[in-house]
């Protein structure tokens, strides 16, 4: 079972919904989720806020925070996840922000990524990633990481199941 399928299975079992805010992943998280048959039972939608001003204008990220820290920041990721929860009316919000390359951004090196989960009853988790590889590899790993982060919050074990499915160790 893929990480996306596991997350959706857990959400359906809980009767909860999910929305996604993406920056560096540009819609890849939403694509991964919607590749799973029946995703519409729990996936509400996504916002690809690639341009920094959209993070504030659409998702409600604090403009002063963006001005001071740039878009590649753990608190920005957290506020994006909370913002998409509110905007799309979901129980859970996921967010990705970071630098996929080829050039550094906001003083952050390529491979610096923050993924976040916000949920009901104040649930909040942000992970700082330092990823290697080409732009495509960084984006793919960001997708996997944010889905694993949510799976952990939901009580699942997506990465272990994904490894078993692919015969990895």
Which residues, in sequence order, are CB contacts of 45 under 8 Å at separation 6+? 19, 20, 30, 88
pLDDT at 148 exceeding the cut of 70: yes
Which residues, in sequence order, are CB contacts of 106 under 8 Å at separation 6+? 69, 70, 71, 72, 73, 99
- Nearest-angstrom CA–CA distance, 18 and 93: 6
Please check whether residue 126 is in contact with residue 115, taking contact to mean a CB–CB distance below 8 angstroms: yes
Note the pLDDT of residue 1: 87
Confidence of residue 76 (pLDDT cuts 50, 70, 90): very high
User: How does pLDDT run across 28-41, given as a tens digit for each residue?
Assistant: 999 999 999 999 99
Note the pLDDT of residue 159: 46
Return the higher-pLDDT residue of 1 and 109.
109
pTM strictly above 0.95: no
Ordered by where they begin, the domains of the chain are 3-166 (3.90.950.20)
Q: What percent of the chain stands above pLDDT 90?
A: 90
Look over the chain and give the mean of its residue pLDDT values, rounded to a whole number.
92
């Amino acid at each position: 079972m893929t990480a996306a399928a596991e997350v959706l299975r857990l959400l359906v079992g809980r009767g909860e919904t999910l929305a996604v805010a993406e920056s560096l992943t540009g819609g890849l998280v939403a694509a991964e989720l919607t590749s799973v048959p029946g995703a519409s039972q729990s996936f509400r939608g996504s916002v690809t806020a690639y341009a920094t001003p959209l993070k504030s204008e659409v998702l409600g990220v604090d403009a002063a925070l963006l001005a001071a820290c740039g878009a590649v920041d753990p608190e920005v990721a957290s506020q994006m996840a909370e913002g998409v929860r509110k905007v799309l009316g979901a129980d859970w919000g996921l967010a990705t922000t970071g630098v996929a390359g080829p050039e550094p951004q906001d003083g952050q090196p390529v491979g610096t990524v923050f993924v976040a989960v916000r949920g009901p009853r104040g649930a909040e988790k942000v992970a700082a990633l330092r990823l290697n590889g080409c732009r495509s590899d960084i984006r793919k790993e960001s997708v996997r990481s944010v889905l694993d982060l949510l799976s952990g919050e939901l009580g699942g074990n997506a990465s272990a199941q994904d490894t078993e499915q692919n015969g990895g160790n």
